[in-house]
Structure formats: C-alpha cells, structure tokens
Amino acid sequence: MKDLFSKGDILSLKWKILLVLVCLLVAGSIFYLAGLMNSDMANGLRNAQSELQNARTNIDQIAEEEATIIEYIGRYQELAADGIVDPEDRLQLLELFAEIRREHDLFPIRVSIEEQSTINLVYDPYETAPGGPINVNVTNVSMGLPLLHEGDLISLLDSLLDTTGLYVLKECSVSLRNPSQTNFIVLGQYQEAECDLLWFTFDVDPPLPVQPFF
Amino acid sequence: MRSLFKQENSQFMIITNHEMRLYVWENKSFHFVSEFDGSSHSLEAFKQVQGKLKKLPAILITNILEESFRSETIAPVSGSDRKALMDRKLNYAFRKTSFRTASVIEREKDGRRDNRILLSGLTKPDLLLPWLKILLENKTPVQSVSSAAYLAEAFAKTAGFDKESYTLVTSLERNNELRQTFMKKGKILFSRLTTLSSRNLDSLGKEIYKESVQIRSYLERVKLLPYEEYLKIKIYCSHDDDELKLIQKTTHLNHFDFINIHHELAKYSTALTEAQQGPLIYFLHSLLQKKLIHNTYASPKIRKYFLLANVGRSLVYASFGIIVLSLALSIPMYLESWDLSKQQSELITQTQPLEIEYGLLTQRFPETPIPSKEMALVVESYEQFLAQVSSPIAAMSYISENIASSPTLQLTEITWTLLPNAADPASPEYANMRYLSYPINSDDGFIAAVLDNRTSLRVEISGIAYSSGSYREAQQQVQLFADALAARPGVRVTPVRMPTNVRVDTPVNTTIDNNELSAPFLLQLDIESL
C-alpha cells in the first residue's frame, strides 16, 4: 500500500478524509445531543414525577396536619399556659414550696435542685415526615422535712402535684425519728420524710447539636 | 447512490492482435467509440479520446493469441503456503509477463490429493502496455484487465451452464477469429484462439466443426477431458445454424448448441451496429446486467487509480454511513426524549391543580405556635409522663387500712419507689417503645422507662413486732399483716425479713427472758394497681 500510493495520491483524498472527519463530528454531535436531550428529559420527568408526588404528599400532609392540629392544639395551649413548654423557673418552684409550707404550717423543708439534664424526644419510627427536634429537660429535686405525722407529707405532696408543673415522684420515704417513743401528746418532729421527684419541662426550640471540627 | 454489485458507467477496450476497439457502457447499453490499430497516430487519437473519458473506469478485455493456460498440481496446502507455491509456479511459467494469474481448480481424488491449479498469462504484454501507459498518464482508473476466456467463464455462470460436466464455449469474432474455451463444471481449464481461413459460410461451419473435433482430441490427449466423454459445444457467432449447419453434426459425444448473438443482443435494444457486435460484446452485455467485471491480470500498480477512487468512494460512503448510523442510533433516543417530554407535560398538567389546591389549603390553615408533628410529640410525651405520676398517699392509705389487723406491730419506715423496668421483648408494647437505647441504670434510663411506660411501684415497710413472750404470736402478727396487704389483686407481698427466721437452712440465735419480745421485720410490696 505504501509503495503503491504516492503522497500526492493520498493528498488527493484530503477532501474526502475531511468529509469523514466532519461527518464523524456531526454524527458524534447528533448522538451526543440525543443523549443529552434524553438525559435532560429523563431528569425533567423525574422532577415532574417528584413534584407531582410532593404535591400529593403536601395535600395529604396538610390534611393530616390539620387533623393533628385540631386534635392537639387545645391540649398544647393548656401546656403552654401552664409553662410546661417554657424554661424551668426555679424561683417559682422555691416560692411554691414556701407557699405550701405556709399554707399547711409545715416544719422547715430542705430542698435541693440538681443540674438540669436533657433528653431528645423520639418520633414514631413509622412517621414518614417527622417534625423538628424536641427536647425534654429534667431536673432532679430532692426534698426533706420533719413531720408531725404522715398528714404533713400528704398535704405537701397533694399541694405540689396539684400545681401546674410536671412532677413525677421517683422515691419517697417516711420514717420514725424515734421508734421507742410512745408519748405523742407534745407537738414535735416525730417522723422524717425524704422525697425525690423529677421536674419536667419541654424545650420546643432546642439548640442545634454542635458539629465536630473534624 | 451507485450499486456496489453492478457495473457503473465505464469504458471497455477489446484488445486483439490487430486492433483495440473502444466501447462505453452507459445507461445499461454499449456505445461504440472508435477503434485503434496501435499506430502512433491511433495512440495519439486514443489519448485525446481519453481526455474526455478519463473519469470512467477502464476495463480491458484481451482476445489475443498470446494467452497461455497451463494446468499443474501443487501440494495440498492452504493459506499463505498455497499462495507462495502458486506464485513460484507462476514465476516459473510466466516469467516475462506481469499479466498472469493462478487459481485452484479442484482437488485431485487420488494420491496425496494435490490441488490442481490453472496458471494463465498474457505472454505478449506489449499488446496492452501502450494503452495502459496512456490510461495511467491520464490517471484513468483501470478497473480490470481480463480476457475473452475468463469472460466466457463468467458468462457461463451467468447463463447457468456452469453445472455441465464439460463445456466448450466457442465464439466466432471478427476476422474469423475462433475463441474456444474449455470448462469443467464452469471452471476454465483451457482456451485458445484460432484464425479460420474459410470465407464462405458452408466451409466456415465445417472448419468450426473440424476445430472442435481437434480440440477435443487435444483435451483428451492432455487428459483434461476423459475419453468418450460427453462434451457440450456452445457456438456463439453472428450467423444462423442454417448457414453453418453445426447442430446436425451433434453425436452422442459432441452436442452442438448454436446461439446467434445478433438475436440475443436484440433483446437488450443495443445501439451497436452488427459490425460492432460480436460474441464478446454479447457476453459483456449479459454479464453487465447483473455483475461487475472482475480483474484477472492487472497488478495493483495498474489499478492504483481505481483503488484510489474506490478508497475515496468508500470514504464518502463511510461518511454517509456514519451519519445514517448516528441517526439510526439517535432517533430512538430522540423519540424517547419526545415521549419523556410528553409524559413530563402530562405530569405538570396534573401537578398544577394540586399546587393551587395546596396553596388554598395553606392560606386557610390555622396558625399554630409550633408545627403539628412537634405539637403532637409534646402533648403525647406529656401525657405519657402524666400517666406515670403517682403519689405514695394511696399506698400509705392502703397500709393504714390493713395495719389494724395486727395491733402489736409498729411501723418504723415506709419507702415508696417508682422503679424502671427492663423492656420485655415478648410484650406487645415492645414494638412501640422508642427509648430502648438508654441504659436502664442511668438517669436517662429512668426517664426513658417513664416515656416507654416501663415503670412499677415498690413499697418497702419496715417495722417492729412486739409480743409479751410468744415468738409465734409476733410471727403471726406480721404474717397477718402481710396476708391482709396481699389480699388485694395487683399487690404482691414478699416478706424480706420476719421477726424470727424459721427457715431450716439458717441458724436462729435469740435470748429467751422475761422481757417483752421486740423483733424487726421488713415487707416488700410490688404494686401493679391499688
């Protein structure tokens, strides 16, 4: 082949070789554009499907949300009014203890409020569109007081649990200060009560978790 | 687009020992251009004619005396070995000409089953070279150089008598030149050109018959035709058999068929005069209706402009092929895109009213302090906590009710505890528990247990049993108290410590005197409900 054709012979084919190259370019462009268009259309279709699905989901969700709101708004507003969704007010709690003591003429009450801890509330795992994070803040409150009789403790607990705060009693003990004593004519501190309770408040706008640096 | 399998417009040169006749094949018909006697004048004239025809591929057909055929055998090899062997044989047989060819005819049936080959060559290249020189100077594409013998072979295949065992194709050309080509099953084995001396038709017929018998004898002698074998002799000429009287000479060995080529060519409505016609033109006419004329003798150097033109044409076809291929591959994609676009439009049409409806619903949506899901979680969690809120007051009242049955007991301490329980995977509520990841002994574990409703109440009652001197009475008083407490369903009482440990597997130590008996006890109450 090399000996058969001279350089001039090969050059005489230059326009035809150019035609092949141009056709290759055109063919490549046609094919590439087809692929591009196909891909664009497929993406467009996916987006349209997604938008339709979103629109349907939005309508379903808004209906569901409306039902949820109707079901819970009243109770939530009560909780908000009771300060359950506000930060805990320790002064108010101490005031409350003081008021209960005054009201029931109780012996001095020892109150110890510990550091607040937080736990994240968990949505139903089957919930497809859960809401934002909600924390529950928990504070352990220990209290102790001498009792004239068991009624003092009952009065204290009744009054405390009857308030608007959310308190869950964890442990409570009542003991005789002097079991050998048999004369109860004189008013005195015959019994001793110790109680631990958990004070719950909700944080509906918790701070975002701190991202690690690396 | 040109047909790849049929001959395009071209120029044909019929070369004999006396002249060269030039024809043009155009629109499926031959046109006679001129004839050239090979003199310097005629070569000049040919050169001028080529100035106009140089675009047309040239096909040279020789009908000359100096074409030799030789049948030989080579070892039964194939591929490049066979080619090398055949080249060697060609070099030996036709050293002085480049217009030569070799082909395998058949495989011998006996011995080592050698390949029988046919070597042929144009032994007087000077008859072609002046014409070829002009063609190459003009850069005219030379498609092929072939001969009347090979043309007869190709014609045999087209005419359908290539299945005959032995055929002798005899054609009577101008100047009474008789070409006899012998074929076995359509494959050429031998051919020769004879110039007949007769001038009147009667003796011409006899001379053709004589030549036929002579060539038969020769073929039998060289063992190309077995003795006493049936031979079909097909006579192509410009006369009728009435004039030559050959068919009547048919015997059981020689069967004469007679074809007047003027009658046959008349079917093709040719523009040639009778003088310009001949068996070769008839063969070409028949072949060109269906086939290309293949090259037999021309080397690549002679055909280079034709090959170059073919390369150029292939490039053009390839260009169109590329475009067509890309379109063929792309069209389904474009169609799919169009279909996808339609589907997209349909979906958008479906989405729009939903978005409007959503907008309307959003506008009349009630204001909420926090999103509904969060609100629901807060309320449900609150209620979960609330369900766990209990007070020791109920337990103390229950204890107070039942202590009356045991007046000699003194209670010294009551401890009320809300205990977190481990989750029971067997319980139906297990699947709904969301806070199982918190360790039960941690502070968070207690809260998790409250949120999962996994708590229970435990009350421990410590006291002292008094008796004036009876151990049994003290024991009974505590037992009565425990029985009274356990009487209510939902309350399970476990005596952790009794006034006297009466189990036989532990020692008992006490001092028996006159003092009142005073013994501590401890009862544990696990309360499900009160």
Please judge whether B319 and A16 are an interchain contact, meaning their C-beta atoms are less than 8 angstroms apart.
yes
Specify the DSSP element, H or E, that contains B30. strand B29-36
Domain end marker among A62, A81, A100 = A81
Residue A100 pLDDT greater than 90, yes or no: yes
- pLDDT tens, A133-183? 999 999 999 999 999 888 899 999 999 988 888 999 999 999 988 777 666
Reported pTM: 0.59
Query: Does one domain contain both A45 and A108?
Result: no
Token reading at B130: 């002046």
**CATH number reported for the structural domain that contains residue A158 in this entry:** 3.30.70
- Any idea which residue has 């544990």 for tokens? B524
Shortest alpha-carbon distance between residue A92 and chain B (Å): 20
Contacts of B411 in chain A (CB under 8 A): 176
CA B92 to chain centre: 49
Distance of alpha carbon B408 from alpha carbon A88, whole angstroms: 47
**Maximum separation of any 2 CA atoms in chain A, in Å:** 138
- Chain A residues in contact with B318 by the CB 8 A cut-off are 20, 23
Domain co-membership, A123 together with A196: yes
Residue A105 shares a structural domain with residue A170: yes
State the burial class of residue A70 (Cβ atoms within 10 Å of its Cβ: 0-12, 13-18, 19+).
Answer: exposed
Chain A residues in contact with B329 by the CB 8 A cut-off are 31, 34
How far from the centroid of its chain's Cα atoms is residue B190's Cα?
Answer: 47
Specify whether the CB–CB gap between B493 and B486 falls below 8 A.
yes
Query: Mean pLDDT over all residues of chain B?
Result: 88
More confident site: A130 or B199: A130
Of A46, A81, A116, which marks where a domain is finished?
A81
Same domain for A112 and A40? no
- Look at the alpha carbons of A86, A87, A91, A93 in this order and tell me if their dihedral is positive or negative: positive
Search chain A and give the residue with CA nearest B417: A171
- Token pair, residue B223, equals 């063992």
From A45, A64, A81, the end of a domain falls on A81
A108 plus A67 within the same structural domain: no
| Predicted confidence (pLDDT) per residue in A27-64, tens digit | 999 989 999 999 999 999 999 999 999 999 888 888 88
Contact predicate B188/B182, CB 8 Å: yes
- Contact residues, chain A, for B429 at CB < 8 Å: none
CB spacing of B382 vs A198 below 8 angstroms: no
Question: Do A121 and B377 lie within an 8 Å CB cutoff?
Answer: yes
- Among B316, B411, B438, select the one facing A19 at the smallest CB separation: B316
Q: Which tokens sit at B367?
A: 């204001």
Decide: residue A205, CB within 10 A, 0-12 exposed, 13-18 middle, 19+ buried. exposed
- Which of B388, B416, B438 is opposite residue A172, by nearest beta carbon? B416
By C-alpha distance, which of B162, B226, B222, B160 is closest to B192? B222
In a domain? residue A212: no
Q: Is A175 part of a structural domain of the chain?
A: yes
Q: Is the domain of A138 the same as that of A197?
A: yes
Contact assessment for residue B246 and residue B207, using Cβ atoms and an 8 Å cutoff = no
* pLDDT for A115 beyond 50: yes
Residue A210 pLDDT: 62
**A85: closest chain B residue by CA:** B378
Is residue A95 in a domain?
yes
Nearest beta carbon to residue A41 from set B337, B362, B377: B337
Give chain A's mean pLDDT: 88
Determine whether the interchain pair A124/B411 forms a contact, defined as Cβ–Cβ distance below 8 Å. Answer: no
How much helix, strand and coil, in percent to the nearest 5, is found in chain B?
40, 25, 30
A7 within a domain of the structure (yes/no): yes
Q: Which of B317, B217, B246, B234 is nearest to B282 (CA)?
A: B234
| A67 and A99 fall within a common domain | no
Q: How far, CA to CA in Å, does A174 sit from each of A144, A149, B513?
A: 10, 10, 33
Of A159, A165, A56, A139, the C-alpha closest to B443 is: A139
Q: Which is nearest to B283 in space by CA: B155, B177, B163?
A: B155
Q: Which of A70, A132, A44, A51 is nearest to B358 (CA)?
A: A51
Contact B413 A58 (CB under 8 A): no
User: How far is B285 from B278, CA to CA, in rounded Å?
Assistant: 11
State the amino acid at position B438 in one-letter form: Y
Considering the domain architecture, whether residues A103 and A159 belong to the same structural domain is answered as yes
Which of B326, B417, B438 lies nearest to residue A30, judging by beta carbons? Answer: B326
Q: Are residues A138 and A108 in the same domain?
A: yes
* Residue contact A27–B376, C-beta within 8 A: no
Per-residue burial over A112-130, b = 16 or more CB atoms within 10 Å of its CB, e = otherwise:
eeeeeeebebbbeeeeeeb
Identify whether A209 is part of a domain.
Answer: no
Residue A208 covered by a domain: no
Half-sphere exposure of B489 (CA within 13 A, CB side): 0
B410, closest residue in chain A (CA to CA): A179
Rg (alpha carbons) of chain B, rounded to whole number: 60
pLDDT tops 70 at residue A1: no
Measure the CA–CA gap between A172 and B245, rounded to whole angstroms.
144
Rounded Cα distance, B353 and B347, in Å: 11
Contact check, Cβ <8 Å, B417/A174: no
CB atoms closer than 10 angstroms to residue B364: 7
Q: What torsion do the CA atoms of A184, A185, A186, A188 make, to the nearest 10 degrees?
A: 30
Interface A-B, measured as beta-carbon pairs within 8 A, has a size of 251
Q: Which of A21, A26, A45, A180 to probe the B interface (max B CBs under 10 A)?
A: A45
A94 and A173 part of one domain? yes
Local structure of residue B297 (DSSP, 8 states): S
Which two structure tokens, joined as six digits, stand for A200? 């719950």
Question: Smallest Cβ distance to A59: which of B327, B354, B412?
Answer: B354
Burial tier of B506 (Cβ tally within 10 Å: 0-12, 13-18, 19+): exposed
Q: Which helix (H) or strand (E) holds B83?
A: helix B79-93
Q: What SS3 string covers chain A?
A: CCCCCCHHHHHCCHHHHHHHHHHHHHHHHHHHHHHHHHHHHHHHHHHHHHHHHHHHHHHHHHHHHHHHHHHHHHHHHHHHHCCCCCCCCHHHHHHHHHHHHHHHCCCCCEEEECCCEEEECCCCCCCCCCCCCCEEEEEEEEEEEEECCHHHHHHHHHHHHCCCCEEEEEEEEEEECCCCCCCCCCCCCCEEEEEEEEEEEEECCCCCCCCCCC
Indicate which of B302, B319, B334 best probes the interface with A, i.e. most A CBs within 10 Å of its own CB: B319
**Residue B336, min C-alpha distance to chain A (Å):** 7
DSSP-derived letter for residue B123 is S
Helix (H) or strand (E) holding B183: strand B177-184
DSSP for B407-440 reads: TTEEEEEEEEEEEE----TTSGGGGG---TTS-T
Q: Six-digit token pair at B363?
A: 């506008």
Q: What chain A residue is nearest to B396 in terms of C-alpha separation? A: A150
Q: Give pLDDT tens digits for B440-485.
A: 777 788 888 888 888 899 999 999 888 776 788 888 889 989 999 9
Q: Which of A22, A45, A79 sits opposite B340 (nearest CB)?
A: A45
Q: Give the Cα separation of A148 and A146 in Å (integer).
A: 7
Instruction: Give B374's contacts in chain A (Cβ within 8 Å).
Output: 131-132, 134, 204
pLDDT of residue A194: 95
Q: Mutate one of A200, A201, A205 to test the B interface: name it (highest B CB count within 10 A).
A: A200
CB contacts, 8 Å: B389 with chain A: 161, 166-169
Which of A138, A158, A144 lies closest to A196 in space, CA to CA?
Answer: A144
Q: Does residue A192 share a domain with residue A96?
A: yes
Task: State how many domains chain A has.
Answer: 2
One domain for residues A110 and A53: no
Amino acid at B321: G
**Residue for token pair 């002799």:** B233
Across the interface, of B322, B372, B462, the residue whose CB is closest to A65 is B372
pLDDT of B298: 93
Domain that holds residue A118: 90-203
pLDDT at A2: 59
pLDDT tens string, chain B, 530 residues long: the values are 455 677 788 999 999 998 999 999 988 888 999 999 989 999 999 999 998 888 899 999 999 999 999 988 888 888 888 889 999 999 988 998 999 999 988 888 887 888 889 999 999 999 999 999 999 999 999 999 999 999 999 999 988 888 888 999 999 988 889 999 999 999 999 999 999 887 777 788 889 999 999 999 999 998 889 998 999 999 999 888 888 888 888 999 999 999 999 888 888 877 888 888 899 999 999 998 888 889 999 999 999 999 998 899 899 999 999 999 999 988 999 999 999 999 999 999 999 999 998 888 888 777 788 888 899 999 999 998 888 888 888 888 889 888 887 888 888 999 999 998 888 888 888 888 888 888 877 778 888 888 888 889 999 999 988 877 678 888 888 998 999 999 988 899 999 988 887 777 777 777 767 677 788 899 999 998 76
Neighboring chain A residues of B350 at a CB cutoff of 8 Å:
52
Give the pLDDT confidence score for residue B1 in this predicted structure.
Answer: 45
Is A172 part of any domain?
A: yes
pLDDT(A213) > 70: no
Alpha-carbon torsion A48, A49, A50, A53, what sign?
positive
The Cβ of residue B275 has, within 10 Å, a number of other Cβ atoms equal to 9
Q: Report the candidate in A166, A169, A205 with the shortest Cα–Cα distance to residue A88.
A: A166
Pair B463, B412: CB distance under 8 Å: yes
Nearest-neighbour CA in chain A from B326: distance (Å): 5
Pinpoint the alpha helices (H) of B296-371: 304-363
Residue A210 lies in a domain: no
Q: Give all strands of the β-sheet with B100-107 in edge-to-edge order.
A: B67-74, B115-122, B100-107
Nearest-Cα distance to chain A for B466, in Å, is 12
